[in-house]
Amino acid sequence: MSDRGKLTGVQCGLSFSNYVGGAVHADVVIKPGSEGGTLKGTLIDLDEAGFVAALCSFTAKRISTADPGPSPCF
C-alpha cells in the first residue's frame, strides 16, 4: 500500500461550453494506519461572466476519516 497519490476533480457544471467553476489537482500523503493526511495542490477558478480567472495553491490537513456522505463534485 502506497502512502502517496493524486486527487483531481472538476466542479459540477464546468465544461467546454460553460467556463464558470473550478478544477483542483493535489498530491495526497496518508501514512498507512493513520487518520491524518495532507493535500497540497492547485485550484483553478473560472468566471467567464466576470472575465475573471484565478490560480491558487493550497495545503489542507485531514484529521478524521469520518464519512461526510456522497459528493460527486465540489
- pLDDT computed for residue 74 by the predictor: 57
On whether residue 58 sits in a domain, the answer given is yes
Domain of residue 12 covers 4-62
* 40: number of Cβ within 10 Å: 12
pLDDT digits (tens, 9 = 90+) for 33-68: 888 899 999 999 888 777 888 999 999 998 877 777
Instruction: Report which of residues 23 and 48 the model is more confident about.
Output: 23
On whether residue 8 sits in a domain, the answer given is yes
Give the separation between CA 14 and CA 23, rounded to whole angstroms.
8
Q: What is the pTM of this model?
A: 0.69
Phi, psi values for residue 55, rounded to 5°:
-120, 115
22: closest CA among 48, 61, 40, 60? 48
On whether residue 40 sits in a domain, the answer given is yes
On whether residue 73 sits in a domain, the answer given is no
